[in-house]
A and B are shown apart, each in its own frame.
Chain A
């Protein structure tokens, strides 16, 4: 293409103007309490809306909404495995694909999978795998696709919950549901199920200790932790307390998830005749 030399072309790389805002104009996460009225140091997760079976083509699907975090997941399979190796003969294989929609974050993302998305895919896979009865699906693969429509924090945790809902909706045999919960540690206190500004912003003065985040995936009725991601730095006791708080947060989600699933079973078919 010929270059228009008369035109002043923009720089090759562009940055969001938001980061050049003066410090005073930037949104500051309040030091006390939380913007959405929740309390610090309490396990009051955002209210969750969950529904199954919205993608008719998929074997199973789910949509979850917590605050402004919105994501959907669809499950395909079990179908014949494409890439074979010796280990797949006895049990099935789970594939997870985690993606952000390009418009889901503050900064536009690319369509191709970035390294953060790959990292999340792996974490999702490791969190879900212990929950699925893969030995019932020899020679088969089950695909889990998660798409984040809007990122307002704690995406991995909600992706885990959403994916397990979709798997259950697909009628894949599972040992248990898998629920996820995130936490942002901020010094001595914590913010459960953080929103995006809470997750990414540093909340108190620099050099404070115990700044980090934790994501836990829990099998609620077996009381087993299937995934644990931790980022940042934390003392050992703080970490233990954070994990406990996350587990508590997971249990709060359980009734909502249960109801969503039962509703979808009921919608699909009337009770069978005895």
Chain B
């Protein structure tokens, strides 16, 4: 990923700022940068969202396809994540350069969604053991300016909120064969409950305090994900993470609902906004 060099003087300046709860760009320790969210940006998808956080820009597209449920959990659909680090974001991602980061990000997403309450996978089941919806969640990094994890999780959540899965019903003929029938009405859709879809909160320990949504400069001041922490600060950080996550979640849901209530009147911003 894009890296920056910091001098000792800069480091001291940033660390002292963090100590006094005033960061270089004027934020407090637990503030996010300016975030913009727009849903339904790609018409070919079943759900999509674009999120910008500072200069980080993420585009998520979700496509629903009918597949076969996993044998271990016959009555559930499943999610597939793929994170593409395109060379648009930084030239280092060219060729196979972004693969490592991409796997790391998608593995994190699998882990975050690997529990019962994030999303009810049973709603994705069409007929147990035979058919289910598979949601292919493709994440595209358009610009990297730090804090990819948080931005991606918000974008995935917004895109899931926006996802509309066509309603199907199964009819059985005389011989017992099953047929899947798609509803004729394009507005007859199923929505997902995203109330519990998690947001990732990344914390970065700078000096003796930790900051939310670190810029690349601040990240360079901490160990940059390579260090170790004493147990007490881990506990402090989980507490902060929980608090910040809750504070992030409420306005996010509000914004998403508000955007949807605008309906067709909504002015589309797109990519040049």
Contacts and interface: CB of A to CB of B under 8 A. Distances in A.
Chains A, B in direct contact (C-beta < 8 Å): yes
A229 to B, nearest CB: 8
Given A15-B71, A232-B115, A236-B239, A223 B231 contact: yes
Contact of A233 (B103, B117, B226, B239): B117
Nearest to A125: B226
Interface stretch (A73-81, A138-146, A239-247): A239-247
Interface in A118-162: 118-119, 122, 126, 129-131
Contact of B226 (A129, A228, A232, A244): A129
A225 interface: yes
Contacts of A211: 115-116
Contacts of B193: none
Contacts of B26: none
Contacts of B118: 233
Contacts of A225: 228-231, 234
A244 B227 CA distance: 19
Given A224-B228, A226-B228, A243 B115 contact: no
A206 B230 contact: no
Interface in A208-244: 211-212, 219, 222-226, 228, 231-233, 236, 239-240, 243-244
Given A19-B72, A225-B229, A239-B238, A233 B107 contact: no
Nearest to A228: B234
B82 to A, nearest CB: 11
22 contacts: A15-B71, A19-B72, A115-B103, A115-B106, A118-B103, A118-B107, A119-B103, A119-B107, A122-B100, A129-B226, A130-B223, A212-B115, A222-B228, A223-B230, A223-B231, A225-B230, A225-B234, A226-B229, A228-B234, A232-B115, A236-B238, A236-B239
Interface of B: 71-72, 100, 103-104, 106-107, 111, 114-118, 223, 225-231, 234-235, 238-239, 242
Given A225-B229, A236-B239, A243-B234, 9 more contacts: A20-B71, A129-B226, A130-B223, A206-B116, A207-B116, A223-B231, A236-B238, A243-B235, A247-B231
